[in-house]
Homo-oligomer: A and B are copies of this chain.
């Protein structure tokens, strides 16, 4: 009990849920928006920008990295984060495809 029963659903459903889950936090939305705006971003800048502890930001970055939406490259003592364009396009497409499936039908009134 307590665990999501992923085995009851297909790969596409689980993947889509994982994508949405990665974005299901305002801090992670904010991080992504920042990266979209500024191309590169250092973890420390995000800490200043968002006003959360460094450990917290680092954890959120990890989750976004986990689904591949962002990537980070070490530059000296710093790590520069940016959007992973390829995955971004994929994710965008998967979202689009999900939302496009519905076109107005007879609703329950």
Q: Which residue numbers of A lie inside 8 Å of B, CB to CB?
A: 4-6, 8-9, 13-14, 16-17, 20-21, 23-30, 33, 36, 39-40, 50-52, 71-73, 75, 80-85, 88, 91-92, 95-96, 98-102, 104-109
Contacts and interface: CB of A to CB of B under 8 A. Distances in A.
Nearest to A104: B85
Contacts of A95: 95, 99
21 contacts: A4-B27, A5-B52, A9-B26, A9-B30, A13-B29, A17-B23, A17-B28, A29-B98, A33-B101, A39-B106, A39-B107, A72-B108, A73-B108, A80-B108, A82-B108, A83-B102, A83-B105, A85-B102, A88-B99, A96-B96, A96-B99
Given A36-B101, A104-B85, A27 B9 contact: yes
Contacts of A84: 107
A99 B87 CA distance: 12
A8 B50 contact: yes
